[in-house]
Amino acid sequence: MCLAVPGRVLTVEERDGTRMATVDFGGVVKDVCLEYLPDLRVGEYTIVHVGFALQRLDEESARQTLALFNGLGLLEEEFGDAWERAAEEAAAGPVTEEVDR
């Protein structure tokens, strides 16, 4: 929930009186509310937080950030299955990873 992720606007429409878009986050496509950036257009990039577009972003910055997030597994953390992760944490066994000293 804490992440704000850059994505590219694929479609824009009015839904129940609310401006909505579908946004592509490097392969994950989500519905996003555009009420806080109503003049965002198809093809543009935006920073999205909990399903709301908050700020415009240039393409290069967006691509770089997405590549970084992808490499760190943050996109999976943001868009993945929270129940599965919670179950894994609750059942986590003894620590076996080597401590990096």
Partner 1 sequence: MKYLDEFQDPELARRLFDDIRATVTRPWALMEVCGGQTHSIIRHGIDQLLPEEIELIHGPGCPVCVTPLEMIDKALEIASRPGVIFCSFGDMLRVPGTGRDLFTVRGEGGDVRVVYSPLDALRIARENPDKQVVFFGIGFETTAPPNAMTVYQARRLGIRNFSLLVSHVRVPPAIEGLMTSPDCRVQAFLAAGHVCSVMGTEEYPQLAERFRVPIVVTGFEPLDILEGVRRAVRQLERGEHRVENAYPRAVRPEGNPAARRMLADVFEVTDRAWRGIGTIPASGWRLSEAYREFDAEQRFEVGDLTTVEPAACRSGDVLQGLLKPHECEAFGTVCTPRTPLGATMVSSEGACAAYYLYRRLAGAPTPVEVAPVG
Binding site for partner 1 (CB under 8 A): 1-4, 16-18, 30-31, 33, 35-38, 47, 49-52, 54-55, 57-58, 61, 64-65, 67-68, 72, 77, 79, 82-83, 85-87, 89-95, 97, 99-101
Give the whole-angstrom CA distance, residue 94 versus residue 82: 22
Give the whole-angstrom CA distance, residue 86 versus residue 1: 14
Residue pair 75/61 in contact (Cβ under 8 Å)? The answer is no
State the first-to-last Cα distance of the chain, in angstroms, to the nearest integer. Answer: 31
Nearest approach in angstroms of CB 42 to partner 1 is 20
42 or 54: whose CB is closer to partner 1? 54
Nearest approach in angstroms of CB 99 to partner 1 is 5
